[in-house]
Amino acid sequence: MKTFAHLCLLALCLSLMACRNNQPGQRLAKASRENKNGWIYVHLEGSPADIGYQHGYLLSDDIDTSIQAVSYLLAHDTQKDWSFYRSCARDFLWPHLDREYKDEINGIVEGLQAQHKNYDSLDITALNAVEELAFYYVPSLMEQAKAGSGNNKAPGNCSAFIATGSYTKDGKIVIGHNNWTEYIIGQHWNVIADIVPAKGNHILMDCMPGFIHSGDDFLITNNGLLITETTITQFKGFDTTGIPEFMRARKAAQYSNSIDDVVRIFTTGNNGGYANDWLIGDTKTNEVAKLELGLKHYRVWRSKDTAIIGSNFPSDEQLIKDETTFNVNDPTTSPNGRKLRMEQLALDLKGKLDIGTAQTLEADHFDATQGRKASNKCVVCGHIDEDAKGCSEWDLAPYYPMGAVQGKVTTAALAGKMQLWAHMGHPCGQDFIGETFYKAHPEYAWQSKYLKNLRAYPWTLFSAK
């Protein structure tokens, strides 16, 4: 029986043979890279293998430093080294990937190796699955070993909204999202990927280097779909026999033509990994929806006149009861505090939402639980590194360096031109300076090896080619 390593080597050799007449310059002819205001814009175009090669070649150094930072953090926080995550990729992720996404990942590897970076398909697969493995699969193993030990591990990543009808200035869809994550990881969530695949939709999305999906999830497509999400706090559940979340997310972006398509692709083969409230808009119909997707349960809300918010809170009663340990009645939690504030903002900004007000919303620093401006876990632009209480609902100690690391907004009009606005660093404009932080909080000095600063840059308009 051939080992996985032999099969990977065979696949890579076949890819190399297929492309033996194509010099790197030819394969890169349609691709480009530009650094702009803290972001890396890349245009990728062609077959899955060529898109992957362009990605790996143009972002080789960035993928390298991202894997180093991710593996370092996970070894500390999950007590699992990178070889564990590679074994997960081998044992139950790679076998469930469609051929085209295997080809794209192999292409990334080929591009990396052309730049003398020694990674393989297991590394890139594990990187793409970092959220679902570290915060869903590992806690499920902990639960098997000791009941309750996996609680509070599902991350609370992101604040988001989608609005349409009477809630927006022009009556058309407006969507916004800011990514909450550990700063050591979030500093690398700085790619705007403009992807033109040989089959399926043209996609413009943010992502980490090496990702074939967005990951935090904010994207637009050339057929009028807008997709983002926020995670479900304190979710529990994972199915290793299911389709990896990262592949379903990419497939939904690439092949959906409607809200129904997005729901179908996400729910088919669902593994429960990275359980989210997906906010979806279709500019062709001016309809928006929320797909709350657990493992055992899912529910869809739809409307042509609403503002739907996300701040890591679940809504479906059955899902809350069966699949989370989240206390919906505790107003002091980050999800509930931000929910209260975003509900206020949705009403205050009703009929006014456009690019400017959306950017202001993503940078908001009002703590509705205290009725004052603050810099903590309960504001839309989160700063847990300044919160003396930490965030126990995500198992984060006081002053843990985590919060809003970047933001994105767009409108139906801009999306029709394949454009979005993006802000690298805290949307409020505040810098995180490592030297100052570690002096005040030496308990986190171990992160200084890979986390120096997280600078805030101006809002920047990105356009697909």
- Token pair in block for residue 294: 């657990």
Of the chain, the end-to-end C-alpha distance in Å amounts to 46
Strand order in the sheet with 419-424: 306-310, 159-164, 174-182, 402-411, 419-424, 460-463
> How far is it, in rounded angstroms, from Cα 246 to Cα 102?
12
CB neighbour list of residue 102: distance below 8 Å, 6 or more residues apart: 11, 94, 121
> How far is it, in rounded angstroms, from Cα 195 to Cα 464?
8
- Token pair in block for residue 52: 């992957």
pLDDT of residue 28: 97
The full length of the chain comes to 465
pLDDT tens digits in sequence order for the chain, 465 residues long: 445 555 555 555 444 444 444 467 899 999 999 999 999 999 999 999 999 999 999 999 999 999 999 999 999 999 999 999 999 999 999 999 999 999 999 999 999 999 999 999 999 999 999 999 999 999 999 999 999 999 999 988 899 999 999 999 999 999 999 999 999 999 999 999 999 999 999 999 999 999 999 999 999 999 999 999 999 999 999 999 999 999 999 999 999 999 999 999 999 999 999 999 999 999 999 999 999 999 999 999 999 999 999 999 999 999 999 999 999 999 999 999 999 999 999 999 999 999 999 999 999 999 999 999 999 999 999 999 999 999 999 999 999 999 999 999 999 999 999 999 999 999 999 999 999 999 999 999 999 999 999 999 999 999 999
> How far is it, in rounded angstroms, from Cα 398 to Cα 387?
6
Can you tell me whether residue 372 is helix, strand or coil? strand
pLDDT of residue 14: 47
Q: How many other β-carbons are positioned within 10 Å of the β-carbon of residue 6?
A: 10
Strand 174-182 relative to strand 191-197: parallel, antiparallel, unpaired?
unpaired
Can you tell me whether residue 349 is helix, strand or coil? coil
Buried b (16+ CB within 10 A) or exposed e, 403-437: bbbbbbbbbbebbeebbbbbbbbbbbebebebeeb
pLDDT of residue 25: 85
- Token pair in block for residue 171: 């009556």
Q: How many other β-carbons are positioned within 10 Å of the β-carbon of residue 299?
A: 16
pLDDT of residue 217: 97
pLDDT of residue 232: 98
pLDDT of residue 156: 85
Strand 39-46 relative to strand 191-197: parallel, antiparallel, unpaired?
parallel
pLDDT of residue 10: 53
CB neighbour list of residue 57: distance below 8 Å, 6 or more residues apart: 24, 27, 28, 31, 111, 112, 114, 115
CATH class of 159-463: alpha beta
- Token pair in block for residue 360: 């202001």
pLDDT of residue 21: 41
Is the pTM value of this prediction over 0.85?
A: yes
**What are the residue boundaries of the structural domains of the chain, listed by start?**
159-463
Beta strands in 128-274 (DSSP E): 159-164, 174-182, 191-197, 203-207, 218-221, 225-231
Please count the CA atoms within 13 angstroms of the CA of 262 that sit on its side-chain side.
31
Is residue 359 packed enough to be buried (19+ CB in 10 Å), middle (13-18) or exposed (0-12)? middle
Q: Which of 138, 325, 318 is nearest to 235 (CA)?
A: 325
- Token pair in block for residue 251: 């497939």
What are the two backbone dihedrals, phi and then psi, of residue 62, each rounded to the nearest 5 degrees? -70, -40
